């Protein structure tokens, strides 16, 4: 019989401990968060270079149309038409840069197409 009372007492103790709703104070939570943020800030950062691939088409567009503008100035003999075509090519190259920067900032797709390169000698 004594064993049965011990089990009943243990069961009641377990049930009572499960029913406790002792939550930490908000001050303790704030201090713990501050401590975690401080530890994260003090930890040395991994030497990882991130390169967004969203800018590759922009750079290629800018270089290609800038070269077309230079080619138009060198090859076309009529100076008015050469300047007109060179201006159009430069306009397209600058518009490509503007559209790419605007698209990357407005849409949160920058992280989706990113290459991460680890520097030499750094362990992950």
Q: Give the Cα separation of 58 and 7 in Å (integer).
A: 73
14 or 89: whose pLDDT is higher? 89
Arithmetic mean of pLDDT, 97-111:
77
How far, CA to CA in Å, does 28 sit from each of 23, 24, 31, 37?
10, 6, 5, 14
For 69, counting Cβ atoms within 10 Å of its Cβ (0-12 exposed, 13-18 middle, 19+ buried), the class is buried
Report the share of the chain in percent with pLDDT over 90.
Answer: 29
The 10s digit of each residue's pLDDT in 53-94 is 778 888 999 999 999 999 999 999 999 999 999 999 999 999
For 15, half-sphere exposure in the C-beta direction (CA atoms, 13 angstrom radius) is: 6
pTM of the model: 0.51
The pLDDT assigned to 124 comes to 46
């Amino acid at each position: 019989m004594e064993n049965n009372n011990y089990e009943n007492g243990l069961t009641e103790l377990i049930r009572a401990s499960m029913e406790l709703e002792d939550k930490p104070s908000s001050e303790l939570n704030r201090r713990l968060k501050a401590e975690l943020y401080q530890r994260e800030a003090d930890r040395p950062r991994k030497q990882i270079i991130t390169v967004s691939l969203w800018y590759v088409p922009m750079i290629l567009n800018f270089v290609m149309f800038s070269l077309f503008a230079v080619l138009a100035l060198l090859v076309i003999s009529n100076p008015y038409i050469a300047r007109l075509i060179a201006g159009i090519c430069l306009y397209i190259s600058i518009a490509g840069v503007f559209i790419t920067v605007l698209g990357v900032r407005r849409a949160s797709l920058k992280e989706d197409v990113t290459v991460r390169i680890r520097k030499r000698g750094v362990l992950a």
